[in-house]
């Protein structure tokens, strides 16, 4: 893909191009090798490589049925690289690369940079001292007019004006106040048809007001704590389908009433590192 070939207007009119694309990374070197979030505590080196591989493969196959999946090569020494949501944020061929808060993940930046540059994306970077963790903390509204961006755990609020300029969107900042929900995509998911899936307790009052001003009560799928800690909000939504970790039948039923088919895929091996379905993918413009 070259920068000149990006033509987003007509793409929306062509059914062949309507299939969304995602970037994933095999869990070949996945492991809980350090502790940078509360989920990793007590889980050092406890993940089973064969179970993690099976669970990842299951997610890959389910996603490949409804979307194009591209792969970036895993790298030794970067056990969290499997969580490609943290590679960066992409829109219309522009990628803002992540600037990881923790030194443990900073080696990933170069690997992701190379993949995006080789694929023809225009890669923008933040200064080292401004942490930004990609799609893990930044999610576009359905119409692409707004960008919801988390701060307070990993991503710094100082990155928000940069994102606003890079993508020419209005940024809505959301303050994350619970260390268990340290990335926005662990507690908030804009869905098709104007719905939102979220765990209210992860946000401060002012941020909740912003969410509630945007989504009317009938469009909010509020997740209870028992499902939130199973990473229910860490959901991949393609059309009517939602791929997510195993959650309560009650939540699956509420999603069904909202028009969605929720497909539960066990991802507990990745929960040990603080990630589930959405963390394992990054939405990208189709790569030629």
> In the set 190, 264, 275, 277, which binds ligand ARG (CB under 6 A)?
275
Beta bridge partners of 94: 91, 122
279 catalytic per annotation: yes
3-state helix/strand/coil string of 51-116: HHHHHHHHHHHHHHCCCEEEEECCCCCCCCCCCHHHCEEEECCEEEECECCCHHHHHHHHHHHHHH
Cα–Cα dist 93/19, whole Å:
16
Q: Tell me the Cα Rg of the chain.
A: 17
Q: Contact between 186 and ligand ARG (CB under 6 A)? A: yes
Q: Contact between 185 and ligand ARG (CB under 6 A)? A: yes
Binding residues for ligand ARG, how many (CB under 6 A)? 15
CA separation, residue 208 to residues 106, 193, 199, 200, 237 (Å) = 31, 20, 10, 7, 22
Shortest Å, Cβ 87 to ligand ARG: 10
**213 in helix, strand or coil?**
helix
- Cβ proximity to ligand ARG, 88 vs 274, nearer residue: 274
Which of these ranges, 12-20, 79-87, 172-180, 256-264, lies near ligand ARG under the rule CB under 6 A? 79-87
Q: Contact between 86 and ligand ARG (CB under 6 A)? A: yes
Shortest Å, Cβ 80 to ligand ARG: 4
Residues contacting residue 52 through CB under 8 Å, at least 6 positions apart: 27, 30, 269, 270
> In the set 31, 80, 115, 267, which binds ligand ARG (CB under 6 A)?
80
Which of these ranges, 6-14, 67-75, 166-174, 267-275, lies near ligand ARG under the rule CB under 6 A? 267-275
- Cβ proximity to ligand ARG, 150 vs 200, nearer residue: 150
183 catalytic per annotation: yes
Q: Which of 25, 183, 187, 233 is catalytic?
A: 183
Shortest Å, Cβ 5 to ligand ARG: 29
**Of 188, 112, 180, the residue nearest 146 (C-alpha):** 188
Q: Contact between 273 and ligand ARG (CB under 6 A)? A: yes
Q: Contact between 36 and ligand ARG (CB under 6 A)? A: yes
Q: Contact between 83 and ligand ARG (CB under 6 A)? A: yes
Cα–Cα dist 84/72, whole Å:
9
Q: Which of 25, 187, 233, 279 is catalytic?
A: 279
Q: Which helix (H) or strand (E) holds 150?
A: strand 146-151
Q: Are 114 and 22 in contact (CB under 8 A)?
A: no
Shortest Å, Cβ 183 to ligand ARG: 4
- Cβ proximity to ligand ARG, 212 vs 268, nearer residue: 268
Cα–Cα dist 114/52, whole Å:
26
Contact residues toward ligand ARG (CB under 6 A) are 36-37, 80, 83, 85-86, 105, 136, 183, 185-186, 273-275, 279
Q: What positions carry a catalytic annotation?
A: 183, 279
């Amino acid at each position: 893909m070259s920068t000149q070939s990006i033509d987003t207007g007509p793409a929306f009119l062509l059914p062949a191009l309507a299939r969304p694309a995602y970037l994933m990374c095999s869990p070949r070197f996945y492991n809980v090798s350090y502790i940078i979030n509360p989920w990793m505590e007590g889980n050092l080196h406890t993940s089973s490589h064969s179970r993690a591989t099976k669970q990842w493969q299951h997610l890959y196959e389910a996603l490949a049925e409804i979307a194009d999946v591209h792969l970036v090569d895993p790298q030794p020494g970067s056990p969290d690289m499997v969580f490609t949501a943290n590679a960066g944020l992409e829109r219309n061929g522009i990628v803002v690369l992540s600037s990881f808060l923790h030194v443990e993940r900073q080696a990933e930046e170069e690997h992701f940079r190379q993949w995006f540059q080789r694929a023809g994306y225009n890669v923008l970077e933040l200064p080292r001292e401004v942490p930004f963790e990609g799609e893990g903390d930044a999610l576009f509204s359905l119409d692409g007019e707004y960008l919801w961006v988390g701060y307070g755990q990993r991503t710094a609020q100082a990155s928000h004006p940069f994102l606003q300029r890079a993508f020419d969107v209005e940024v809505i900042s959301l303050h994350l106040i619970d260390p268990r929900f340290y990335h926005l995509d662990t507690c908030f998911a804009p869905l098709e048809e104007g719905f939102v899936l979220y765990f209210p307790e992860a946000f401060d009052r002012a941020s909740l007001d912003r969410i509630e001003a945007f989504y009317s009560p009938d469009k909010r799928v509020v997740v209870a704590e028992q499902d939130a800690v199973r990473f229910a909000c860490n959901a991949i939504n393609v059309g009517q389908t939602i791929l997510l970790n195993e959650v309560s039948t009650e939540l699956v039923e509420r999603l069904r009433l909202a028009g969605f088919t929720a497909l539960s895929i066990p991802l507990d091996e990745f929960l040990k590192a603080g990630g589930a379905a959405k963390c394992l993918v990054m939405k990208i413009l189709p790569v030629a």
